[in-house]
Structure 1
Amino acid sequence: MKESDYDYYVHWEKFDRRLDCWISHENLRLLNNEPNDEYPIIKNTEDNYDSDHEHAGIDKEYLREHEENTKLKTINQIKFGKYLIDTWYFSPYPKEYQNIDILYICEFCLSFFKENVELVRHTEICEIRHPPGNEIYRNEKISIFEIDGNYFRIYCENLCFLSKLFLDHKTLKHRVNLFLFYVITEFDEYGYHITGYFSKEKYSKNNVSCILTLPQHQKKGYGKFLINFSYFLSQTEKRTGTPERPLSDLGAASYMAYWYETLLKVLINYEKLSIQELSEITSIETYDIVACLEEKEIIKSMANGETVYYINPKHMKFILEKLKHKNSDLCRNKLHWVSYDYYLALYE
């Protein structure tokens, strides 16, 4: 075969792997491999990652093996409901569903097919119109379902396969029966359409293990809503929570934005408040509070050794603008939920 008969997989240096793509030979241009003398070459001498870095807490050997095994996207797009979506990363669907251009997925039961005709045939007999499990929250056109991976294994495994297409370092090595899944949907006369979800491990102090807003529903506020809801459940349980590390670049930015807004809304109403009291009010872990306030330069150390909150005009302008908008707080009387009984572990 000639070179022109091949497609080429391209990774852009210094950019996230979600931008990787296949291109034809005619779109390739050979460049000189010599480095450009105009720009210095910077070498990393050591890996100093903080706890929120995308690779923090991941064993280097595992990371190397993971990146090697997931180097290539083997599914280019998915057909999901009325959307045709470009994928970002490799997902370990069964072997017979790899190396295809489009994977066809039922948006209600998450069954997947290689051909559109199979999906069409499936939709004619599929009676499912909402996620399994319990509907625990409904407000206007949004519903949230709690799904126990122990009772709905196939659905939860398919949800993990789907989310892995858009999350780089999500691992599927743990059994889904160890997790609870909270799926957010938009509902209309046709059914309940998935927009995103988060999961949490049943026996962990973390209130989120994995979180995703599907690409076609991003920029609608669902990511913030899911983060808010995870802390809403933590407040109901009267405990603090934090997301499992590592966080992706998008996840870290979303959490920092949520913490910043939530903490400012509380701080402007108090003249004196300790970090511990702030944690009890918001259910945000103390180390996340400190990290956020330091990042935003809200904590200041005085000459006498005391630490104070300093909310400058920029912070005030930000929070006053947020308070002008429609109240996005969750309604407690719309939540119908009982927290997981951790003693059930003996029987699962």
Structure 2
Amino acid sequence: MAEDDSRPFTRQQGGASTSQPAFDPGQRATCIASFDGQQHPIEIVDKRFERGEYVYYVHYLDRDRRLDEWVSADKIGAWSVTPRPSLARVDTAPSVTLGGELLSPTADGNNLKVTRRLKRKYEEAHHLPADEHGGDHGHDKEHHPLRVKNIQVVEFGRYEMDTWYYSPFPEPYASSTKLYLCEYTLKYFRKKKTLLRHLAKLDIRHPPGDEIYRSPPPPPGQPPNYTGGAVTRPPISVFEVDGKKAKVYCQNLCLLSKLFLDHKTLYYDVDPFLFYVMCERDQHGYHMVGYFSKEKSCMEDYNLACILTLPAYQRKGYGKFLIAFAYELSKREGRVGTPERPLSDLGAVSFRSYWTRMLLEQLRNVKGDVSIKEMSEATMIRGQDIVDTLQGLGLIKYWKGTHLIHADPRVVQEHWAKFAHQRVIDVDSACLHWQPLPTPTARKRP
């Protein structure tokens, strides 16, 4: 009997073909990447049959997940290297004691509830690796499974942006290749005409919160297009949005940000958070460019949970402005701050750049010796972040159990020369109209 020639086949390296896919999800291999034309180790995430052959969605093991892509079988080769020893699984690692109670990362409903704070404590105690970018995070691959990027493009205001990661939008939106988002309400649509009808009926064109900061106008005697210090063109504003009062807006913000943040796991539980949304301001309204979030009540020193500058607005100094804004709020609260861990590759670079600039500025202006505590009080940067940053600059020494700042003025000036010409948007404290939430006081017993 003749064989059925209608069965799918996959073309393999060397020109051979088979009725079965050459690779399966979860398999390791090598692949020639489209972004540099070089061969990289990969993991097969998914496969599909199209145009008479299988194509594969691959994750490059030595690159960030934003570079994951669909490739044809002829780009993939077998990987015969000895697999690396796997890191200890979370469910086999020992428990850690916190406040007299045992924390198990696989706690079920009968055991201790694993909160975000306890998860962070567990990771720090056991030095567990992070998945990649700064704020919400998981433990291992089981908590952060590799996912195929669903939405490829979003249209946001006057920009069209390629997405980086998978985001759990509800169906049928999750199956759309392109989404259209309202930059004022963050509502999402599958069709452009639906978005236009929404905008035609929209009256409010700013985030649903309090405007707590507005950049100052140019100083007297300067032209209208002057920029410098805290003066920007276009002018910027920051809104404080309460996740409990504007739940839908904040949930939509989290879904949008997940398209560009690999680490993010928080989408719907937004009540405990405040969102600080940064906007460019013009005659049409307030156009969101980025945001950061922080917990309303945090027992740690965290002053920032998650931060994002949309790709269309990056390289304008907005990311460093948001970091500086978070530390300005810490100054109003009178407490040192640090971002939640783990930090992503981009987040780590941004924070390290901000810390370096602020510490060098302090060392340039101080005369005589200065302690880490004094620098922390002046900048509201956590002491350990100061130590790590100054160690990278070679400006601190460890002697007799104590870290001593060894700031040679010549070395400080050499480092400062790298930052002198960078465009930085300052935070004008006089333009910040904000007071911290009142700290709950313990009730006295009668």
TM-score with structure 2 setting the length: 0.68
Tell me the equivalent position of 1:109: 185
Aligned to 2:172: 96
Task: Specify the SS of the correspondent of 1:177.
Answer: coil
Q: How far apart are 1:104 and its partner, in Å?
A: 0.9
Report if the CA contact (8 A) 1:302-1:308 is conserved. no
Structure 1 residue matching 2:329: 3-state secondary structure:
helix
Deviations 1:82-108 (A, max 9, x none): 111111111111122112110111011
SS in 2 for 1:74: coil
Aligned to 1:239: 335
Does residue 275 in structure 1 map to residue 275 in structure 2? Answer: no
Give me the whole-angstrom Cα distance separating, in 2, the residues matched to 1:203 and 1:113. 34
Offset of residue 324 of structure 1:
5.9
Structure 1 residues 236 and 305 mapped into 2: Cα distance closer, same or farther (>3 Å)? closer
Measure, in 2, the Cα distance between the counterparts of 1:311 and 1:181: 40
Deviations 1:313-348 (A, max 9, x none): 45413324534667743211111111122439x9xx
Match of 1:322 among 386, 402, 419: 419
Question: Mind listing any 5+ residue stretches in structure 1 that lack a counterpart?
Answer: none
Are 1:88 and 1:166, in contact at CA under 8 Å, matched by a contact in 2?
yes
Of 43, 58, 66, which residue of structure 1 is paired with 2:84?
43
Q: Name which of 336, 341, 348 aligns with 2:438.
A: 341
**Whose helix fraction is larger, Structure 1's or Structure 2's?**
1
Task: Provide the identity percentage.
Answer: 43
Unaligned runs of 5+ in 2: 1-6, 9-48, 89-125, 216-231
- Asked if the contact 2:154–2:181 (Cα under 8 Å) also holds between the matched residues in 1, the reply is yes
Cα RMSD, aligned residues only: 2.9
Could you tell me how far apart the structure 2 residues matched to 1:233 and 1:110 are?
25
Amino acid at match of 1:214: L
State the Cα distance separating 1:30 from its structure 2 match: 4.2
Contact 1:300–1:310 (Cα < 8 Å) also in 2: no
1:175 matched to 2:269? yes
2:347 and 2:158 map into 1 onto residues whose CA distance is: 26
1:154 is aligned to 248
Q: CA deviation at 1:116?
A: 1.5
1:259-270 to structure 2, matched below 5 A, reads 259-270=355-366
Q: State whether residues 186 and 194 of structure 1, in contact with CA within 8 Å, keep that contact through their aligned partners in structure 2.
A: yes
Residues 101-130 of structure 1: CA deviation (Å, up to 9, x unaligned): 101110111000111221122111122211
- Give the 5 Å matches for 1:281-292: 281-292=378-389
Task: Report which stretch shifted further, 316-325 or 124-133.
Answer: 316-325
- The one-letter code of the counterpart of 1:254 is S
Change (3 A) 1:188 1:58: closer
The structure number with the bigger radius of gyration is 2
Residue 51 of structure 1: how far off its partner (Å): 8.6
The aligned residue for residue 10 of structure 1 is 58
1:54/1:246 contact within 8 Å kept: yes
Written as runs of structure 1 = structure 2, the 5 A alignment for 1:115-130 is 115-130=191-206
Letter of the 1:331 counterpart: D
In structure 2, the partner of 1:54 is 132
Q: Displacement of 1:238 after TM fit? A: 1.4
Deviations 1:171-197 (A, max 9, x none): 126621101110111111111111100
CA distance in 1, matches of 2:239, 2:403: 46
SS in structure 1 at match of 2:61? coil
Contact 2:60/2:68, CA 8 A, preserved across alignment: yes
Say whether the 8 Å CA contact 1:52–1:252 is kept in structure 2.
Answer: no
Name the CA distance, whole Å, in 1 between partners of 2:422 and 2:162. Answer: 33
Match of 1:309 in 2: 406
Inter-partner Cα distance in structure 1 for 2:405 and 2:210: 44
Maintained 8 Å contact 2:291/2:322: yes
Secondary structure (helix, strand or coil) at the match of 1:176 reads coil
Deviation at 1:35, TM superposition (A): 4.6
Which position in structure 1 is the counterpart of 2:113? none
Instruction: Pick from 49, 56, 77 the counterpart of residue 153 of structure 2.
Output: 77
Structure 2 CA distance for partners of 1:318 and 1:15, relative to 1, 3 Å: same
Q: Which residue of 2 is the match for residue 331 of structure 1?
A: 428
Aligned with residue 20 of structure 1, among 68, 79, 83:
68
Query: How far apart, in 1, do the equivalents of 2:315 and 2:420 lie?
Result: 19
Correspondence for 2:115: none
Distance 1:105 1:324, change over 3 A: closer
Matched residue, 1:164 = 258
1:282 is matched by which residue type in structure 2? T
